[in-house]
Every structure is written in structure tokens, then in C-alpha cells.
């Protein structure tokens, strides 16, 4: 089952995960508009992030229903391994990721080096995890994790990705759809993005043909 939860703002650094609840709920009982929760949140449980780790953003369950997996501000993708082990390291987007520099970091300069996974989704057929990273483009990693393989840092039209954000996989075709919040500003400059910036795009990656094409141009952030 997909956990359809409201996307959290990558700029807001919350130190715990509060979303897992919806797994056990009928989605109709959760109304995200204004966060009116009618019923059902009685069995909710909070999953604690490791010490110093902040900014959980996007979550996914793998093709065996394991997880959730979550991207955090220091560039890692963590996997929930149950109450005893908690959230453990699963994958990195940056080949430059190192504990000394990145672990628990919230510094935007460092973030651009360590990566910032914002969109996550497993392909239910191949069990590969696709990742949209704010700085490292579109990546994919197998079910055993590790350093993710970078698929592209620009679209086929040559325009470099500036600020990738959300991502989804078409479970029938395997096509990967992902959003770019702005083609002008990076996440670290997100404060400069105004309503007047309509440079965002929706793009589509076809794993068969390897095409990476703009699909739709946004009319706002």
C-alpha cells in the first residue's frame, strides 16, 4: 500500500517522523487540507530519527513492503528496520559522502556536497529505488542500497537540473516522473524563489529508451 502523505517542506527541519501512522489507516480518514484528522490516529507511533539527524523528506516502501525508507537533510536515505534497530543507513546519493563532513549536517553549503534526497519511489517490478536529489539529479539504487548510480544531471534538452524535488514511478510502464521546483534556483537559494518564478518542470525518464524529457512546464513554483 502506498502511503499517501503530504509532502513535507524540505526547508522545514523536523526531527522526527510523524507520518507512519497513515499506513494503518484508511486514507479517507485523513484530510490533509488544513490537517484536519477526523479519526483513526489512535494507533499512531512516532519513529525517531538517529541523533542530530533532521529533515525527513519523502518516504517509500520497497517491493516487499519493507520500510519506510526516508531521505534526510545530511544526504542519507535511511531504512526503518524495526523498533530494535530503528532507522539505519541504506543509501547515499553523493560519492563524496563521508561521516566526518556530512553526518547530521544542516549546513546548505555542505548539503550541496553530501546530497539531499527529496523524492523517493521504488519500482515495484524491479525493486530499484529511484531518487530525485536536489543537487545530484536523478539516481537509482538496487534493493541492497549503497552509493546510488547517477542517471542524469540534465534533461535531454541539455538544461541542467537545478532543484529536483518529487518523484513517482508508473507501476505499469516503469516510467519515472519527477519534478523540478525551479530551473533557476537551487534548494539552498530557495528563499529567493518567489511566486513569479515559473521555471519549474515535470519531467519523464523512460528506463527502456533512457530518454529524459521535459513533460510539462509549470506555471508557478
> Which of residues 107 and 150 has its CB atom nearest to ligand NAG in the complex?
107
Enumerate residues 49-78 that contact ligand NAG by CB under 6 A: none
Is 103 one of the binding residues for ligand NAG (CB under 6 A)?
Answer: no
Is residue 158 within a helix (H) or strand (E), and if so which, with residue range? Answer: none
Exactly one of 4, 12, 28, 109 binds ligand NAG (CB under 6 A); that residue is 109
Least distance between ligand NAG and beta carbon 108 (Å): 7
Smallest distance, ligand NAG to C-beta of residue 189, A: 15
Question: 7 vs 107, which CB is nearer to ligand NAG?
Answer: 107
Helix (H, G, I), strand (E, B) or coil at 204: strand
Q: Binding residue for ligand NAG (CB under 6 A) from 54, 63, 110, 147?
A: 110
Q: Which of residues 110 and 202 has its CB atom nearest to ligand NAG in the complex?
A: 110
d(CA 162, CA 18): 29
* Number of residues this chain uses to bind ligand NAG (CB under 6 A): 3
Which CB sits closer to ligand NAG, 51 or 109?
109
Task: Report the candidate in 169, 170, 192 with the shortest Cα–Cα distance to residue 181.
Answer: 192
Contact region with ligand NAG (CB under 6 A), list: 22-30, 85-93, 102-110, 157-165: 102-110
CB distance 116 to 161 below 8 Å: no
Position 194 contacts ligand NAG (CB under 6 A) = no
Q: How far is CA 143 from CA 123, 124, 140, 216, in A?
A: 10, 11, 10, 30
Kindly state the DSSP code that residue 93 receives in the 8-state scheme.
S
CB atoms within 10 A of CB 121: 25
The backbone torsions φ and ψ at residue 91, rounded to the nearest 5 degrees and listed phi first, read: -150, 165
Q: Got the DSSP string for 104-152?
A: T---HHHHHHH--EEEEEE-TTT-PEEEEETTTEEEEE-TT-EEPEEEE
Please identify, among the stretches 19-27, 57-65, 86-94, 103-111, the one whose residues bind ligand NAG according to the rule CB under 6 A: 103-111
Question: Which residue lies nearest ligand NAG, judged by its C-beta?
Answer: 107
Closest distance between ligand NAG and the C-beta of residue 160, in Å?
23
- 9 Cβ contact partners less than 8 Å away, ≥ 6 residues apart: none
**Does residue 107 touch ligand NAG according to CB under 6 A?**
yes
Q: Shortest Cβ distance from residue 164 to ligand NAG (Å)?
A: 22
What residues line the site for ligand NAG (CB under 6 A)?
107, 109-110
Amino acid at each position: 500500500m502506498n502511503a499517501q502523505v503530504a509532502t513535507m517542506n524540505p526547508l522545514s527541519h523536523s526531527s522526527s517522523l510523524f507520518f507512519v501512522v497513515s499506513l494503518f489507516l484508511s486514507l479517507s480518514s485523513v484530510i490533509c487540507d488544513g490537517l484536519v484528522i477526523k479519526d483513526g490516529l489512535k494507533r499512531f507511533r512516532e519513529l525517531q530519527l538517529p541523533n542530530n539527524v533532521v529533515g525527513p523528506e519523502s518516504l517509500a516502501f520497497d517491493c516487499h513492503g519493507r520500510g519506510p525508507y526516508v531521505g534526510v537533510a545530511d544526504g542519507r536515505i535511511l531504512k526503518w528496520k524495526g523498533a530494535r534497530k530503528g532507522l539505519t543507513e541504506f543509501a547515499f546519493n553523493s560519492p563524496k559522502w563521508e561521516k566526518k563532513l556530512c553526518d547530521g549536517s544542516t549546513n546548505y553549503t555542505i548539503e550541496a556536497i553530501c546530497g539531499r534526497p527529496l523524492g523517493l519511489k521504488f519500482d515495484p517490478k524491479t525493486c530499484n529505488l529511484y531518487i530525485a536529489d536536489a543537487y545530484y539529479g536523478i539516481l537509482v539504487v538496487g534493493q541492497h542500497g549503497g552509493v546510488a548510480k547517477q542517471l542524469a544531471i540534465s534533461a535531454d534538452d541539455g538544461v541542467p537540473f537545478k532543484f529536483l524535488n518529487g518523484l513517482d514511478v508508473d507501476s505499469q510502464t516503469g516510467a519515472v516522473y519527477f519534478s523540478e521546483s525551479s530551473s533557476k534556483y537551487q534548494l539552498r537559494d530557495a528563499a529567493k524563489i518567489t511566486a513569479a518564478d515559473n521555471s519549474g518542470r515535470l519531467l519523464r525518464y523512460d528506463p527502456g529508451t533512457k530518454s529524459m524529457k521535459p513533460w510539462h512546464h509549470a506555471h508557478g513554483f
